[in-house]
Amino acid sequence: MTPGTLVLLHEPHSTAAAWGDLPEMLRSYGLDVIAPDVPDDTGPRYIARVSLTITATDPVPPLALAAHGTAGPLLPGIALAQRAAHRPIAGYVFIDADLPRPPRHDHESPQNDVPMPPDWPEAPCGYLRTHADRTASSGHDQAIREARLRGWPVTEHEPPTAVAQSLSELLMEL
Q: What is the CATH number of the domain that holds 146?
A: 3.40.50.1820
**What DSSP designation does 30 have?**
T
- Domain membership of residue 61 as a residue range: 5-173
Q: Give the C-alpha distances (Å, rounded to integers) separating 35 from 50, 135, 139, 145.
A: 9, 26, 25, 28
Q: Report d(CA 79, CA 84) in Å as an integer.
A: 8
- Entry pTM: 0.88
Q: Report d(CA 120, CA 79) in Å as an integer.
A: 9
How many domains is the chain partitioned into structurally?
1
Low-confidence ranges of the chain (pLDDT < 70): 103-113, 115, 131-139, 159-160
Please write the tens of the pLDDT for every residue from 130-166.
865 555 555 678 999 999 999 999 998 876 678 899 9
